């Protein structure tokens, strides 16, 4: 086999002010920039085949729009469409990069900007071209570490037996979190002849530390920035793992460290998270283990998953009432407080969106493998057990799970999570979705290997 090559590219994808931000259930119009958004690109080439593996500071995008981006990249650098893999960091202070939707059926406030989407398509093609130009002979090394007290389970068991989202620090009604976080940070480093190393970092937690209306890449920026400051001979890319039920707030922590009303405190939290993850990388950076690189192969595999469609007339009537209050701006009339109100709103929106079907949705899992390394992309937000089980069962020495890859189809909760909470309230899928996509991912990885 010819020598394996790796290349890196980076472009600024910060939108103009006034573009809508995605990630919450009310309209947010960007009014400033805390830090720039980036698209970072890893290109790999085995002498015959090339793959483009992007990490973008976006919340996510729908499959239709992602396919436009992917085709533009494929055309620009002359690679097969299936060899283009676009993962999003899921920053909640990034632009709405989805195709515009009907607010009558959408669960989200829609602020898409077609001019920005067109510009973004050109930027993503450009970053792929830069990475191709940067290709150089490469060897690879890998390692894993634990990073504690950054990712926290954000679903809780209450004393009455029900599941609940975060309802306050040290809350007397909360027994404890439901589940265990995945605190593993994975590191893949390409060392290259005569050029900077390329460092891939993979960790899982919601990039929702900052909020408000100012554009920011959130904590992934500080992962990249810290690594590149300490190792000036390296480029860094951050790929978000399966983070659907993981948040950055410690429910038993000091509320003063997480003041939701002060952007300075929330920015400090993002810096803390990013630098802790970078610290986990630095602890093992000089102790990584060499691995074999090999022929590049791309593959995707689809699971046909049952939806959470509701046909009961009483539930449909309740959903219409709640949804009508939401879209008419009368959210204060919706029962509940905080995340409880949001859970009701999202559940209603989901029921309305699915009232006429479909009964099944095809979810595609994406894989790119080469030698001992594989990237596996999920088209939404899987709970962390999806990533843990996929890594455990994968035949590859290192498997890098990526959320929000090539699509943004909502939450994929575990089977035992369908007893309440925001994520399951908003999920378009019936119980079993997490297990189905895990099985699909493992089958895909075995075929890739």
**Is 198 found in the same domain as 122?**
yes
Task: Answer for the pair 242, 204: CB distance below 8 angstroms, yes or no.
Answer: yes
Give the residue with greater pLDDT, 198 vs 28: 198
**Per-residue confidence (pLDDT) for residue 337, from 0 to 100:** 73
**Is 109 found in the same domain as 178?**
yes
**Is 199 found in the same domain as 159?**
yes
Give the residue with greater pLDDT, 443 vs 331: 443
- DSSP lists the bridge partners of residue 85 as 53
CA–CA separation, 64 and 109 (whole Å): 19
Q: Is 148 exposed, middle or buried (0-12, 13-18, 19+ CB in 10 A)?
A: exposed
**Is 266 found in the same domain as 128?**
yes
**Is 343 found in the same domain as 253?**
no
Q: What is the mean pLDDT of residues 317-325?
A: 88
56 has pLDDT over 60: yes
266 has pLDDT over 80: yes
Domain-located, residue 412: no
Element (H, E) at 194: none
Rg, Å, the chain Cα set: 21
328 has pLDDT over 70: yes
**Per-residue confidence (pLDDT) for residue 261, from 0 to 100:** 55
**Is 201 found in the same domain as 104?**
yes
Name the pLDDT band for 102 (thresholds 50, 70, 90): low
Q: What is the mean pLDDT of residues 176-192?
A: 95
Q: Is pTM, for the whole model, over 0.75? A: yes
Specify the number of domains making up the chain. Answer: 2
**Per-residue confidence (pLDDT) for residue 222, from 0 to 100:** 98
Domain of 341, in residue numbers = 310-356
Say which range, 18-22, 26-30, 163-167, 355-359, has the weakest mean pLDDT. 163-167
**Per-residue confidence (pLDDT) for residue 332, from 0 to 100:** 83
Q: What is the mean pLDDT of residues 418-445?
A: 92
- DSSP lists the bridge partners of residue 401 as 376
CA–CA separation, 257 and 99 (whole Å): 37
**Is 144 found in the same domain as 229?**
yes
Percent of the chain surpassing pLDDT 90: 69
Say which residue the tokens 């810290």 belong to.
226
**Per-residue confidence (pLDDT) for residue 215, from 0 to 100:** 95
**Per-residue confidence (pLDDT) for residue 33, from 0 to 100:** 95
Domain-located, residue 65: yes
**Is 343 found in the same domain as 377?**
no
Task: Answer for the pair 395, 373: CB distance below 8 angstroms, yes or no.
Answer: no
Give the residue with greater pLDDT, 119 vs 340: 119
Domain-located, residue 411: no
């Amino acid at each position: 086999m010819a020598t394996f090559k790796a290349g890196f590219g980076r472009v600024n994808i910060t939108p103009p002010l006034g573009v809508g931000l995605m990630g919450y259930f009310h309209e947010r119009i960007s009014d400033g920039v805390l830090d720039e958004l980036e698209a970072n690109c890893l290109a790999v080439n085995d002498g015959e085949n090339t793959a483009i593996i992007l990490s973008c500071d976006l919340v996510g995008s729908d499959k239709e729009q992602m396919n436009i981006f992917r085709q533009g990249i494929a055309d620009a650098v002359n690679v097969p469409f299936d060899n283009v893999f676009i993962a999003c960091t899921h920053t909640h202070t990034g632009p709405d990069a989805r195709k515009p939707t009907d607010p009558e059926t959408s669960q989200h406030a829609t602020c898409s900007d077609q001019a920005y989407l067109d510009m973004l398509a050109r930027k993503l093609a450009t970053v792929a071209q830069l990475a191709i130009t940067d290709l150089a002979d490469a060897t690879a090394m890998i390692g894993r570490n634990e990073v504690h007290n950054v990712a926290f389970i954000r679903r809780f068991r209450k004393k009455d037996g029900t599941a609940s989202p975060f309802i306050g620090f040290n809350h007397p009604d909360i027994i404890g979190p439901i589940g265990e976080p995945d605190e593993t940070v994975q590191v893949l480093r390409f060392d290259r002849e005569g050029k900077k190393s390329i460092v891939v970092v993979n960790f899982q937690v919601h990039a929702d530390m900052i909020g408000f209306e100012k554009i920011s890449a959130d904590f992934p920026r500080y992962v990249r920035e810290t690594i590149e400051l300490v190792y000036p001979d390296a480029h860094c890319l951050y790929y978000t793992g399966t983070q659907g039920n993981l948040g950055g707030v410690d429910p038993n922590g000091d509320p003063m460290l997480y003041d939701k009303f002060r952007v300075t405190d929330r920015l400090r939290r993002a810096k803390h998270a990013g630098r802790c993850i970078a610290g986990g990388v630095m602890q093992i950076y000089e102790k990584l283990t060499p691995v074999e690189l090999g022929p590049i192969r791309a593959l995707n595999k689809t699971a046909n998953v049952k939806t959470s469609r509701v046909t009961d007339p009483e539930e449909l009537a309740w959903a219409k009432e709640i949804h009508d209050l939401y879209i008419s701006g009368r959210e204060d009339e919706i029962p509940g407080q905080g995340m409880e109100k949001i859970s009701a709103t999202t559940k209603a929106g989901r029921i309305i969106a699915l009232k006429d079907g479909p009964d099944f949705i095809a979810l595609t899992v994406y894989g790119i493998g080469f030698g001992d390394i594989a990237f596996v992309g999920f088209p939404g937000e899987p709970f962390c057990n999806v990533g843990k089980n996929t890594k455990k069962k994968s035949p590859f020495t290192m498997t890098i799970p990526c959320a929000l890859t090539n699509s943004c189809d909502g939450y994929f909760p575990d089977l035992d999570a369908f007893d309440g909470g925001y994520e399951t309230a908003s999920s378009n899928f019936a119980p079993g979705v997490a297990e189905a996509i895990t099985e699909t991912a493992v089958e895909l990885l075995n075929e890739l290997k």
